[in-house]
Chains A and B, each alone.
Chain A
Amino acid sequence: MKVITGQALKNIPNYESQQQPEHAPKEVLVSLQQVSKYYQLGDIKITALNNVSLKLYANDLVVVYGPSGSGKSTLMNMISLTDVADSGIVEILGSDVKQLNDSQQAEFRNKNIGFIFQNFNLIPMFSALENVMLPLLVAKVSKADARKQALEILAQVGLADKVNARPNQLSGGQQQRVAIARALVNKPKLVVADEPTANLDSRSSENIINLMRGLNREFNTSFIISTHDARVLNQIDHKIQLVDGNIVEGDK
């Protein structure tokens, strides 16, 4: 994925991508055009995203960073179809998300977007294997096929010996590996990772980032990662910096 955010454009709220990917034409996965999002906090209207425009392309790895309240999570929510913009156009894989109803959005998320959360968000009553099978079963894949695919991907993330373990029997790093396996098992085009290393120690954090980088290459899946973590920033080339709801720096 090439992040088409152009040069650093501090204090410019309307930002259009100027830079094209190196090996054009690449598929545009995400396109945000003049997207704004506001939240009401009592009498105060807070601008979480201010006329943000960007395009993300297939098969790349990008990190979104910025201070707390800069709009990282809101941007990730827009891209992952878990929130709706107040203005502007959000297109994911060529579909204007406003045109999709609730069921279509659910199906779209299931097939095209993988999620990795800061707190892993594994289902505690399920084993690692069952957690990974879940998106496949939602997609109506047969139980046998889902099991087979889940076992394969758990092996790829190095958890072949932990398939029957419940989340509370796994370390933080192992739980995040299960979450990564769950995010990838449906072979989505895009994985959205929200602070994936925030609850991990340095070693686990590095392992997880390396794993995502490896899977990004192996699966041809795009990853967009939001983080505060300097260790993550140092390992990933393509970055988007957000300040006060504006993209102020991109693609360093």
Chain B
Amino acid sequence: MDMITFAFRNVWRNKRRSLTTMAAIVCGYAAISLFGGYIADTYNSLQVQAVSGERLGHLTIFKEGMLKEGRLSPKKYLFNQEEMAKLKEIVSAYPGVKVVTPGLPISGIFNADNASSIFIGDGVVAKDLEILRGDLLAGYGGQIHQGMDTGIAIASDMGRMLAMEKGGLPTLITSTYSGQANAMDAEIVDVFETGNAGTNDKMILVPFEFAQHLMDTNGAQRFVVMLDNINNTSIAKDELQKKLVEAGLNVEIKTWRDLSSFYNQVAGLFNMIFTFIFCIVFIVIVMSIVNTMSMSVIERTREIGTLRSLGFIKLRIVYLFLLEGGILAVLAVGVGALISVVVATGIDLAKIEYTPPNSSAPVPLKIALNFPQMLITFALTLVLAAVAAVWPSLGASRKPIHTALNHI
């Protein structure tokens, strides 16, 4: 009769109570795991949206001061041809860089056949855009053709609003960097979803050279860098910053998280909700275990006295209850993990769609179970179960044996 077997049998001594406690742990653990998985998938989606959808890449390189004062004197903070060539050469040589591509923002009036609207847009290199968007955004549109200088893509809500679709021939009117009005005819070659309700009625993508002509410049406002591994973002940022400054380029580099305020806001909100739910669920779990273990200790006080009279030392009594709490937690968490996997798979197979706040299109509801987080939750549950078991058993083990034996 080893202690684990002894503890295991004791767990099933009061089946109803143990099962009720386990049910509380199972539900709590599954709720935390599934919500954690939902958040993880949301973060993944937001990350894809920021990196590829908003074309932030992993890193964006600006001229120093661009983000602070670029709106006041944008021309001052453009990279010239020489700087562009040097920067591209240095960054392209950095290990793990998939693409480094220039960008130029544009804005102005989008003049359709019978109506006009404001637009914001980006001048992008078509072949680089394909790499930047990758396979993850396939089906969402947004490809401009290589070799077609005037081919542009517009956001779907903008197209609906202005009754424009593929083949449409709008005119884009802007103010150049030197303050002159400029206009260029374009042809709509694609319609896309920005994924963001705030930009889906005004966003356009144009070829980089088209944007340069429209803004009457041969420079670029920024360079977007896509790495082969997002986890290297911070290292690459620091090292590229150093290399570029050493090469005489006065730049500042921002990560996609620095620039995606939407990601940061959503992440902040979800983290707060998750922490709140996590705390509530854990309080319920701890109280359930404390209640079960306390009841168990009280009911078995005489047995504790018997075991001590047979030669059990105090610590062995505590160890026994520790094991019982641990077994309860391990079994419940195991079932909770299993239920989480089944529910997550079920949701995945059901192909449920929903439209998140500020989103321009429905997205699939997915649960990306976060196994490291589940493991941490498991460890925390185990520790709390142990504490919940030790607390009452320590008190009972300290009772004089004759008092414990006479407990009613």
Contact = CB atoms under 8 A, between A and B. Distances in A.
Contacts of A124: 13
Contact of B405 (A117, A126, A133, A139): A117
B309 A115 contact: yes
Given A83-B402, A102-B313, A138-B312, A133 B13 contact: no
Contacts of A73: 402
Contacts of A77: 401-402
Interface stretch (A60-68, A103-111, A224-232): A103-111
Contacts of A125: 6, 9-10, 12-13
Contacts, number: 64
Q: Choose among A102, A109, A123, A139 the residue with the greatest number of B CB atoms under 10 Å from its CB.
A: A123
Nearest to B306: A121
Contacts of B6: 125
Given A82-B400, A82-B401, A133-B1, A117 B306 contact: yes
A80 interface: yes
Interface residues of A, number: 30
A115 B13 CA distance: 24
Interface size, B (range):
20 to 34
A134 interface: yes
B314 interface: yes
B1 A106 contact: no
A135 B310 contact: yes
Contact of A83 (B303, B306, B307, B400): B400
B310 A138 contact: yes
Contacts of A117: 306, 405
A103 B405 contact: no
Nearest to A129: B1
Given A138-B311, A139-B311, 8 more contacts: A80-B309, A83-B400, A103-B313, A106-B308, A106-B311, A106-B313, A121-B302, A125-B12
Interface of B: 1, 6, 9-10, 12-13, 302-303, 305-314, 400-402, 405
Question: Which 10 pairs of residues, A with B, have the shortest CB-CB distance?
Answer: A110-B311, A82-B401, A125-B9, A138-B311, A121-B306, A77-B402, A82-B402, A83-B402, A106-B313, A115-B309
13 contacts: A82-B308, A83-B400, A83-B402, A102-B313, A102-B314, A106-B308, A109-B311, A115-B309, A117-B405, A119-B302, A123-B303, A130-B1, A137-B1
